């Protein structure tokens, strides 16, 4: 097999950890696989360099930041390569440039445009392990660029796609994707397999493991992703095409998002287009609106309820205040003591009754559902924050996710 | 003027020092000059990285070391560029690659083969200050190479040559070249100007400031070198073509080399070619022979005296032992309690009497001269080590170098 293995900052956090990574990579090679390794900077290094830059400027040129920050991954890549050579496994380190990673010119958050895998393929043919400095590429002028947060994961996925790897393993300090947050429900089980779509909907469960950007790229490039831990040999979670998952579970996982606020606008003026005006203004202020409910009151005016991320609440309030001042709204109220519980599973596509079970489960716990939204593979419910953990646990039980 | 300014590790040793360097560079630019800056890694960084590599291997691949070590200069270059931008002086950092520095493929001790200054020239035309990561280039495959010890000085000199700079300033923690070591003779004076040739002969005086490799390159490329300190505004020493020095001093400086040992071979067999056989064997053992004296004894055999660096003494002894065993030599003796005092000056070419004054000066102090060698601009004398300081001081006086 051709395997891409990506090790994040904590996995290469010090010299001993790098030795452990070398041992793991060597083992993979010894088992008969071709291996491309993608590494992050040693944990703390990137923050240290950012701190240096901030000493000089609160707004340093982005191209200079890329020159600065791209150095950390080079250090890890060469050290790991040296460690592998010492173990008797010929290895060669490569910068993003050498690995053929071409990006656009959006410094500090560049997007990969193309990968020319020919140099990597030549090295693989020579039997070498390749160690690529993650997080970086070059633009068409040959200037170094970096890919922004989670950039090394993107490097790994894009490389896996370009070389046609059988597997792209993302190693972190977390062992995989769980049916729900184990800190809330200790009976949470690690998932063996999950589809790209489910993973995207379960973003909050995977937030510490994988960014949506990487999952989306894996989906686009048809890359079999595995998230697993570098601290043990425990198997991880495979994220793959839905077709590759034989037994499609009704529900795969339950996600909780406490970072939500609800805005209620009552007595919205009975004038065409007022709702669209509200949401256009919100969008222009970069407020990310999630759920929306709209219904007509008995007096002919309209009530509009919607949710936004907590971090957007203040911006949203400013937008709404203008409508209130113009008497387009009679009452406005905010609630930041809410949360969103989501049930995700590809099986929901073909099975009825999933929603009914969720409603009855929460009702039996006397938990009131404030808002509901559904998609093909997801059911999300807004409830009061104090019931968050109770709701997750009872739903986890109801769908027998611990079985 | 177009000025290249090179700042070594201690000059960019911490963030405050980098700020000071930025202020100095900005001042140079403000005075109407075009500036290219060449920087080393922050002091301690390169050693830290070498230590990391040694954790994994006692003999790491040289190409990997280049990938590893070249990162330090990139960090300094981008930080200085950020600092300059913040001061309101548009600056752009460049790797060795971007600056067009092409080297051979001798990783960790590459030689610069060619510099394509077109990218630098374009940036200068835009009014930008260029900050180049020193010590590094790329080979014809595009792989990063480093230039070995003193490599950033070489980068600076080579760049100055390629862009036709008026001046190449090398900033260190030493203020220039002195007539002799000020720790031996407090009356030592800083030289305003000195020729390349004198500087090369005075190597030991400049050892902490400039390596011969950089002086040789400056001479070849006709680059006006200035060594000065980054810790004050004190003027430094200009190293230039002899023709540029109007008043040619009889003697420019006095160098002392304590790192010498003398080997005496007596009763060398009266057989043709024996001396050449000794020195061939020494050369094959990489022993660096400096001075040689040979004279015939009354019994028809020959005595040969020569000096080697202290570090080569053991190797030299091994070579000589074979001749002793074969009875080609009757007596061998060693003396590592000697030193070499050298008087250097371009004026010696055209003035007689320099040597006579040296001999009489030492004689007046009852210092015995064991060996003598001369070149066009240098007179070297081997004396007993205990007289080293006395000899330097009395010669410094005799040639009135403190005037």
Please name the fold of domain A2-172. Carbamate kinase (3.40.1160)
- Residue at token pair 């980054």: B230
A38 contact B CB<8A: no
Q: Please answer whether residues B69 and B60 qualify as being in contact, where contact means their C-beta atoms are separated by less than 8 angstroms.
A: no
User: Which of B311, B90, B2 is closest to A64 using CA atoms?
Assistant: B90
A88 contact B CB<8A: no
Distance from the B150 Cα atom to the nearest Cα atom in chain A, whole angstroms: 21
User: Which of A402, A251, A257 is closest to A341 using CA atoms?
Assistant: A257
Q: Average pLDDT for residues B246-250, to the nearest whole number?
A: 76
Residues near A366 by beta carbon (within 8 Å), at least 6 away in sequence:
none
Measure CB to CB from residue B64 to each of A22, A82, A144 and give the nearest one: A82
**Strand residue runs (E) in A141-182:** 144-146, 167-172
Hey, which residues 6-35 in chain B have their CB within 8 Å of chain A? 15, 18-19, 22
Other C-beta atoms closer than 10 Å to the C-beta of A92 total 24
CB contact under 8 Å between A93 and B60, yes or no, is: no
CB contact under 8 Å between A68 and B78, yes or no, is: yes
CB contact under 8 Å between A82 and B49, yes or no, is: no
Other C-beta atoms closer than 10 Å to the C-beta of B57 total 17
Q: How far is CA B99 from the centre of its chain?
A: 25
Q: Can you give the pLDDT at residue A234?
A: 92
Q: What are phi and psi of A34, to 5 degrees?
A: -90, 140
CA–CA dist A347, A328 (Å, integer):
43
Mean pLDDT of chain B: 92
CA–CA dist B45, B70 (Å, integer):
11
Distance from the A139 Cα atom to the nearest Cα atom in chain B, whole angstroms: 13
CB contact under 8 Å between B85 and A70, yes or no, is: no
Beta bridge partners of B130: B36, B92
Measure CB to CB from residue A74 to each of B55, B71, B93 and give the nearest one: B71
What is the four-CA torsion angle of A383, A385, A387, A392, rounded to 10 degrees? Answer: 80
B79 contact A CB<8A: yes
Which of A189-203, B68-82, B234-248, B260-274 tops mean pLDDT?
Answer: B68-82
Q: Please answer whether residues A265 and A332 qualify as being in contact, where contact means their C-beta atoms are separated by less than 8 angstroms.
A: yes
Q: Average pLDDT for residues B148-170, to the nearest whole number?
A: 95
B85 contact A CB<8A: yes
Q: How far is CA B310 from the centre of its chain?
A: 19
CB contact under 8 Å between B70 and A67, yes or no, is: no
Q: Closest-CA residue in chain A for B18?
A: A56
Which of A67, A80, A100, A146 is the best mutation test for B, with the most CBs of B within 10 A?
A67
Q: Dump pLDDT digits (tens) for B274-324.
A: 888 899 999 999 898 988 888 887 777 888 999 999 999 999 999 999 988
Cα dist from A167 to B148, B217, B269, whole Å: 40, 52, 76
**Can you say whether the dihedral through the CA atoms of B357, B359, B364, B365 is positive or negative?**
positive
Q: Dump pLDDT digits (tens) for B190-235.
A: 999 999 999 998 876 666 678 888 999 999 999 999 999 998 999 9
CB contact under 8 Å between A92 and B63, yes or no, is: yes
Measure CB to CB from residue B82 to each of A61, A83, A98 and give the nearest one: A61
Q: Average pLDDT for residues B67-87, to the nearest whole number?
A: 97
Q: Can you give the pLDDT at residue A299?
A: 78
Residues near A314 by beta carbon (within 8 Å), at least 6 away in sequence:
none
Q: Can you give the pLDDT at residue B299?
A: 78
For A247-273, the DSSP string reads S--S--EEEEEEEEEEEEEEEE-S-TT
Distance from the B173 Cα atom to the nearest Cα atom in chain A, whole angstroms: 23
Which of B17, B82, B96 is the best mutation test for A, with the most CBs of A within 10 A?
B82
Q: Closest-CA residue in chain A for B48?
A: A75
Hey, which residues 330-389 in chain B have their CB within 8 Å of chain A? none
Is residue B350 predicted with pLDDT exceeding 80? Answer: no
Hey, which residues 39-78 in chain A have their CB within 8 Å of chain B? 49, 52-53, 55-57, 60-61, 63-65, 67-68, 70-72, 74-75, 77-78
Measure CB to CB from residue A71 to each of B75, B86, B92 and give the nearest one: B75
Q: Dump pLDDT digits (tens) for B360-397.
A: 999 999 999 999 988 888 999 999 999 999 999 999 99
| pLDDT tens, per residue, chain A with 403 residues | 999 999 999 999 999 999 999 999 999 999 999 999 999 999 999 999 999 999 999 999 999 999 999 999 999 999 999 999 999 999 999 999 999 999 999 999 999 999 999 999 999 999 999 999 999 999 999 999 999 888 999 999 999 999 999 999 999 888 899 999 888 999 999 999 999 999 998 876 666 678 888 999 999 999 999 999 998 999 999 999 988 887 777 899 999 999 999 999 988 887 778 888 899 999 999 898 989 888 887 777 888 999 999 999 999 999 999 988 888 888 889 999 999 999 999 888 777 788 889 999 999 999 999 999 888 889 999 999 999 999 999 999 999 999 8
User: Per mean pLDDT, which range of A336-345, A370-379, B106-115, B150-159 is the poorest?
Assistant: A370-379
CB contact under 8 Å between A77 and B67, yes or no, is: yes
Chains A–B, number of C-beta pairs less than 8 Å apart: 109
Q: How far is CA B210 from the centre of its chain?
A: 4
Q: Can you give the pLDDT at residue A205?
A: 67
CB contact under 8 Å between A57 and B86, yes or no, is: yes
pLDDT band at B399 (very low <50, low <70, confident <90, very high): very high
Q: Can you give the pLDDT at residue A99?
A: 97
Q: How far is CA A182 from the centre of its chain?
A: 18
Q: Please answer whether residues A38 and A200 qualify as being in contact, where contact means their C-beta atoms are separated by less than 8 angstroms.
A: no
**Strand residue runs (E) in B42-157:** 91-94, 101-103, 112-115, 129-133, 136-138, 144-146
Q: Can you give the pLDDT at residue A112?
A: 95
What is the model's pTM? 0.85
Hey, which residues 96-155 in chain A have their CB within 8 Å of chain B? 97-98, 142-144
User: Which of A288, A285, A299 is closest to A263 using CA atoms?
Assistant: A288
CB contact under 8 Å between A83 and B56, yes or no, is: yes
Cα dist from A16 to A11, A28, A79, A344, whole Å: 10, 19, 11, 39
Q: Can you give the pLDDT at residue A206?
A: 63
User: Which of B379, B382, B354, B386 is closest to B254 using CA atoms?
Assistant: B379
Measure CB to CB from residue A67 to each of B22, B64, B93 and give the nearest one: B93
Hey, which residues 264-303 in chain A have their CB within 8 Å of chain B? none
Q: Can you give the pLDDT at residue B206?
A: 63
CB contact under 8 Å between B79 and A53, yes or no, is: yes
Which of B13, B37, B50, B56 is the best mutation test for A, with the most CBs of A within 10 A?
B56
CA angle (B219, B223, B226) in 5-degree steps: 105
Q: Are strands A136-138 and A144-146 parallel, antiparallel or unpaired?
A: antiparallel
Q: Please answer whether residues A359 and A347 qualify as being in contact, where contact means their C-beta atoms are separated by less than 8 angstroms.
A: no
Complex-level ipTM: 0.82
**Can you say whether the dihedral through the CA atoms of A23, A26, A30, A33 is positive or negative?**
positive
Q: What are phi and psi of B313, to 5 degrees?
A: -60, -45
Q: Closest-CA residue in chain A for B20?
A: A56
Report chain B residues whose CB lies below 8 A from the CB of A88.
none
CA–CA dist B206, B137 (Å, integer):
26
Task: Write b or e for each residue in B313-346: b if 16 or more Cβ atoms lie within 10 A of its Cβ, otherwise e.
Answer: beebbebbeebeeeebbeebeebeebbbbbbbbb
Q: Average pLDDT for residues B141-163, to the nearest whole number?
A: 95
Report chain B residues whose CB lies below 8 A from the CB of A65.
78, 82
Domain ranges of chain A: 2-172, 254-398
Report chain B residues whose CB lies below 8 A from the CB of A20.
none
A86 contact B CB<8A: yes
Under CATH, to which class is B254-398 assigned? alpha beta
CA–CA dist B267, A339 (Å, integer):
100
Distance from the A110 Cα atom to the nearest Cα atom in chain B, whole angstroms: 18
Q: Can you give the pLDDT at residue B162?
A: 97
CB contact under 8 Å between A61 and B67, yes or no, is: no
CA–CA dist A279, B62 (Å, integer):
60
Report chain B residues whose CB lies below 8 A from the CB of A53.
78-79, 82
Distance from the B244 Cα atom to the nearest Cα atom in chain A, whole angstroms: 40
CB contact under 8 Å between B83 and A57, yes or no, is: yes
Report chain B residues whose CB lies below 8 A from the CB of A77.
67
CA–CA dist A344, A252 (Å, integer):
6
CB contact under 8 Å between B67 and A60, yes or no, is: no
């Amino acid at each position: 097999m051709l395997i891409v293995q990506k090790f994040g900052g904590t996995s290469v956090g010090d010299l001993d950890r790098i030795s452990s990574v070398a041992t793991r990579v060597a083992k993979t090679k010894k088992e008969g696989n071709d291996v491309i390794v993608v590494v992050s900077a040693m944990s703390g290094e990137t923050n240290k360099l950012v701190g240096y830059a901030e000493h000089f400027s609160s707004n340093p040129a982005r191209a200079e930041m890329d020159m600065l920050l791209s150095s950390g991954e080079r250090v890890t890549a060469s050290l790991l390569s040296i460690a592998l050579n010492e173990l008797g496994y010929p290895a060669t380190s490569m910068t993003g440039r050498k690995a053929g990673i071409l990006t656009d010119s959006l410094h500090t958050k560049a997007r990969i445009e193309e990968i020319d895998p020919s140099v990597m393929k030549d090295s693989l043919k020579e039997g070498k392990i390749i160690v690529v400095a993650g997080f970086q590429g070059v633009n068409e002028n040959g200037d170094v660029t970096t890919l922004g947060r989670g950039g090394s994961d993107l490097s790994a996925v894009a490389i896996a796609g370009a070389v046609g790897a059988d597997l792209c393993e993302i190693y972190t300090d977390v062992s995989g994707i769980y049916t729900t947050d184990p800190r809330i429900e200790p009976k949470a089980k690690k998932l063996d397999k999950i589809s790209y779509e489910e993973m995207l909907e379960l973003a909050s469960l995977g937030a510490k493991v994988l960014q949506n950007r990487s999952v989306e790229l894996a989906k686009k490039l048809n890359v079999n992703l595995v998230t697993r831990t570098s601290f043990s040999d425990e198997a991880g979670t495979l994220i793959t095409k839905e077709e590759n998952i034989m037994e499609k579970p009704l529900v795969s996982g339950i996600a909780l998002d406490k970072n939500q606020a609800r805005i209620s606008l009552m007595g919205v003026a009975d004038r065409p287009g007022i709702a669209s005006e509200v949401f256009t203004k919100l969008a222009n202020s970069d407020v990310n609106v999630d759920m929306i409910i709209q219904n007509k009151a008995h007096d002919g005016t309209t009530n509009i309820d919607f949710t936004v991320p907590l971090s957007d609440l203040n911006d949203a309030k400013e937008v709404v205040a203008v409508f209130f001042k113009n008497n387009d709204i009679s009452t406005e109220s905010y609630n930041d003591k809410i949360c969103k519980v989501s049930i995700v599973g590809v099986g929901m596509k073909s099975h009825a009754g999933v929603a009914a079970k969720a409603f009855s489960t929460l009702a039996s716990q006397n938990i009131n559902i404030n808002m509901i939204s559904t998609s093909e593979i997801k059911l999300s419910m807004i409830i009061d924050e104090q019931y968050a953990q109770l709701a997750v646990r009872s739903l986890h039980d109801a769908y027998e996710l611990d079985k």
